[in-house]
Amino acid sequence: MSKVNEIQKCDIARTLGTKRSGLRRWLSRIGTAVLAVAAGYLLFGFYAGKRQAESAVRYETKPVSRGDLTISVSATGTLEPVNEVEVGSEVSGTLKTVDADYNDRVRRGQVLARIDTSKLEAQVLQSESALESSRAKVLEAEATLKEADAQLGRLSRVRELSGGKVPSQYELEAQEAAVARARAGVASAKAEVSQAQASLNVNKSDLEKAVIHSPVDGVVLQRKVEPGQTVAASFEAPVLFKLAEDLKQLELQVDVDEADVGLVCEGQEASFTVDAYPDKRFPARITQVRYGSKTTDGVVTYTTVLKVNNDDLALRPGMTATAVITTKKLENVLLVPNAALRFEPPQAQAEGAGQKGGGGGLVSSLLPHPPRSETRASEATSTNKAQRVYVLRGGALCAVPVSAGMTDGLHTEVTGDGLEPGMSAVTEMTTGKQK
């Protein structure tokens, strides 16, 4: 009996021990779950706080001002003389002397070079001899005509005295033909005289052209020959010298892009710089905007000529210049930075600037959202001149409608109510951790 009681007690103890171990396991699982939830909540809160700190919005602003606006067009080109003359030779021969050098100032009619005239002088003498021979032939032809004419007169007198019996009609007509041939001989001889005279004139002209004179008052820019060099003028006149008529007046020929040519016209003021004097600006004025275009590497440009005063001769032909053409000047206008016109805040902030969050709180910020509307971006890039400038009022964005005008690339003229000098126009929005 006692043995049975002991066995029952052992079974009861085993059963109670099993129940207590199951309760401990259940309580342990609940505790683990609570700890996991607590840790997740802490991590979630830390992440949300970090996102909120990183999403702090900062605005960069620039002041709205009132002042003058200058609209300009930039172009490059080269300086050229107003009148550049190339001096050549119409006759062939060997250069005997070269009497002008680089940078020499020459006067109209001054001798620049001389060609050896030995051959030309011989040709002139030959032409003179041919002319004298032709004149002698004229005298001979005239004497023959006079003789034939006298013989015709005698025959006619005899026929008249003989009552038409002698000489015969044939003899009379033959003599008349001889007179006509004599007259033709005189005309031919005189033609030969004219031909010989013309040949003589050509040779004399070549002899005169063997001495090369300056056609203008100017400066020698280039000398392309040396004494003893042979000049061959068979098909075209070779260039011996290049002269600039007046270096005190130069032309700057620049290539204006087709996008800017509509702003450029005659009479506009300009200034330019050259590499030789990088710190100095030279004044100029537009004298011509050519209608003919040039296409280089697919870029269409129009040649524009500017008049340049060069009294001090500091500028030289061929210099490369960068010109700035003033197309328009606006005085005392309201100006905003171009970046302020380009700035467009996100849709949510434009509608509720200054609010830290919308409906949904932190969970809503973590969930995906549909893309924002592009309406305002399309308005900012449209061709309509009506735009908006955002200013800060009490830390919040405020849109001010304006009408944009001319721009110089940095600032734009605007008109409209609500925008005054001194206001801070928003140019950029940045997000990041506050310091």
Q: Which helix (H) or strand (E) holds 391?
A: strand 386-393
pLDDT tens-place string over residues 236-253: 778 999 999 889 999 999
- Mean pLDDT across 145-163: 91
Closest CA to 226 of 99, 110, 107: 99
Contacts of 361 (CB under 8 A, 6+ apart): none
pTM value > 0.75: no
Comparing 27-41, 189-203, 211-225, 415-429, the range with the smallest average pLDDT is 27-41
Q: What angle do CA 302, 303, 306 make, to 5 degrees?
A: 135
Question: Sign (positive/negative) of CA torsion 64, 70, 71, 75?
Answer: negative
pLDDT tens-place string over residues 127-146: 999 999 999 999 999 999 99
> What single-letter amino acid sits at 128?
E
Q: Is the pLDDT of residue 382 over 70?
A: no
User: Can you tell me the distance from the alpha carbon of 127 to that of 121, in angstroms, rounded to the nearest whole number?
Assistant: 10
User: Can you tell me the distance from the alpha carbon of 349 to that of 203, in angstroms, rounded to the nearest whole number?
Assistant: 94
Q: Is the pLDDT of residue 369 over 80?
A: no
How confident is the model at residue 363, as a pLDDT?
A: 40
Comparing 1-15, 82-96, 269-283, 390-404, the range with the smallest average pLDDT is 1-15
Strand partners, 320: 78
Instruction: Decide: helix, strand or coil at residue 326.
Output: strand
Closest CA to 325 of 304, 350, 310, 352: 304
How confident is the model at residue 420, as a pLDDT?
A: 86
Contact 313, 319 (CB under 8 A): no
Q: Is the pLDDT of residue 254 over 50?
A: yes
- Mean pLDDT across 263-289: 95
Closest CA to 254 of 271, 239, 242, 267: 271
Q: Is 362 exposed, middle or buried (0-12, 13-18, 19+ CB in 10 A)?
A: middle
Average pLDDT across the chain, whole number: 83
What are the boundaries of each domain within the chain?
75-81+248-331, 85-112+215-245, 117-209
Q: What is the DSSP letter of 262?
A: G
At residue 407 the predicted structure's pLDDT band, cuts being 50, 70 and 90, is confident
Q: Is the pLDDT of residue 45 over 80?
A: no
- Mean pLDDT across 404-433: 85
Instruction: Decide: helix, strand or coil at residue 84.
Output: strand
Comparing 30-44, 108-122, 174-188, 405-419, the range with the smallest average pLDDT is 30-44
Q: What is the DSSP letter of 313?
A: -
**Hey, what CATH topology would domain 85-112+215-245 get?**
OB fold (Dihydrolipoamide Acetyltransferase, E2P) (2.40.50)
- Mean pLDDT across 299-316: 95
Q: Homologous superfamily of 75-81+248-331 in CATH?
A: Efflux pump adaptor protein, beta barrel domain (2.40.30.170)
Cβ neighbour number for residue 360 with a 10 Å cutoff: 11
User: Can you tell me the distance from the alpha carbon of 40 to that of 275, in angstroms, rounded to the nearest whole number?
Assistant: 69
Between 352 and 30, the higher pLDDT residue: 30
Give me the half-sphere count of Cα atoms (radius 13 Å) on the Cβ side of residue 315: 30
How confident is the model at residue 7, as a pLDDT?
A: 54
Between 2 and 119, the higher pLDDT residue: 119
Closest CA to 101 of 110, 109, 91, 92: 110
Q: Is the pLDDT of residue 352 over 50?
A: no
How confident is the model at residue 366, as a pLDDT?
A: 41
User: Which whole-number Å values give the CA distances from 39 to 48, 165, 182, 380, in the listed order?
Assistant: 14, 165, 142, 47
User: Can you tell me the distance from the alpha carbon of 83 to that of 42, in angstroms, rounded to the nearest whole number?
Assistant: 87
CA 173 to chain centre: 84
Q: What is the DSSP string of 239-256?
A: EEEEEES-TTEEEEEEEE
Closest CA to 221 of 78, 81, 77: 81
The per-residue b/e assignment along 49-79, b for 16 or more CB within 10 angstroms, e otherwise, is eeeeeeeeeebebeebeeeebebbbebebeb
How confident is the model at residue 111, as a pLDDT?
A: 95
Contacts of 143 (CB under 8 A, 6+ apart): none
